[in-house]
Chains A and B, each alone.
Chain A
Amino acid sequence: KQEVTQIPAALSVPEGENLVLNCSFTDSAIYNLQWFRQDPGKGLTSLLLIQSSQREQTSGRLNASLDKSSGRSTLYIAASQPGDSATYLCAVPGNNRLAFGKGNQVVVIP
C-alpha cells in the first residue's frame, strides 16, 4: 500500500521568503505525482502534475521536482505572498485512486 508523507505539517514564513515543501512516498513505481492547493473550507485545486519521466515541472512561481528512485518530491514556491497561505497536498495514483499525504499547512505573514 502506498504511503505518502508530507513534512513539515505546518510552517509560517514572512512574506517574500521562498517556501520548500516536502513529500515522500513509499512505493517508487509511480506513474506521476500531483500537487494540490486547498484553501480552508474549499476543495482541491490542481497546481502541478509531474510525470515519472520528468525531474521538474514549473508553473509561474511554483516549481516541483521529483526524485522517483528516492521516493521524494519537493514543491518550491518563490517569493511567497500572503495569498499563498493554504494547505498544500501531494498525491500519487495507484490502485484506482490517489493516495494523499496529510498536507503542508502554510501561513505567509505580511
Chain B
Amino acid sequence: GAGVSQTPSNKVTEKGKYVELRCDPISGHTALYWYRQSLGQGPEFLIYFQGTGAADDSGLPNDRFFAVRPEGSVSTLKIQRTERGDSAVYLCASSPLAVTDTQYFGPGTRLTVL
C-alpha cells in the first residue's frame, strides 16, 4: 500500500514569509509525528498527534510553529515569519497506534529560507 507522502518535496521561501508543509500518513495510522533534521544530525522531534489532537507539542521551537490534523489523517505543519534558521528537512512519520510501534517516514520536505 501507499507509504507516507509529503508535499512539497522542496520549498524555497524568503525570510518573513509563511509556509505550510503537508503530510499524508499511512491509512489507518492514528499516530503521526513531525521531526526536523539538519545536515549531519539525526531527526529531532517537533510534535506528536494521536488522532486529531496534539498529544505532545513540546518539541516545537517557538510559537511561530504550529501543526494541525483536523480529521485525524492529513497533517499540516505551519511556520509563520520564517527565519533562516528554520532551513532544514522536515520529516513526517506515522505509526499504527503508539510510539513504540514501527514508525514509517515520508521522504521529507526540504525547506530553504533565503
A interface residue numbers (CB < 8 A to B): 4, 31-32, 34, 36, 41-46, 49, 89, 91, 93-103
A89 to B35 Cα, complex, angstroms: 14
Decide if B59 touches A43 in the complex (CB within 8 Å): no
In the complex, identify which listed stretch (B12-20, B74-82, B101-109) lies at the interface while the others stay far away: B101-109
Decide if B99 touches A4 in the complex (CB within 8 Å): no
Which bucket holds chain B's interface residue count?
20 to 34
Decide if A42 touches B108 in the complex (CB within 8 Å): yes
A103 to B99 Cα, complex, angstroms: 20
Decide if B42 touches A102 in the complex (CB within 8 Å): yes
Q: Which residue of A42, A46, A94, A103 contacts B103 across the interface (Cβ within 8 Å)?
A: A46
| 30 interchain pairs, CB-CB under 8 A | A4-B42, A31-B100, A32-B100, A34-B103, A41-B110, A42-B108, A43-B106, A43-B108, A44-B105, A46-B102, A46-B105, A89-B42, A89-B43, A95-B56, A96-B55, A96-B56, A96-B99, A97-B33, A97-B48, A97-B59, A97-B99, A98-B35, A98-B45, A98-B93, A98-B99, A99-B45, A100-B44, A101-B42, A102-B41, A103-B42
A34 to B33 Cα, complex, angstroms: 16
Q: Is B91 an interface residue (CB 8 A)?
A: yes
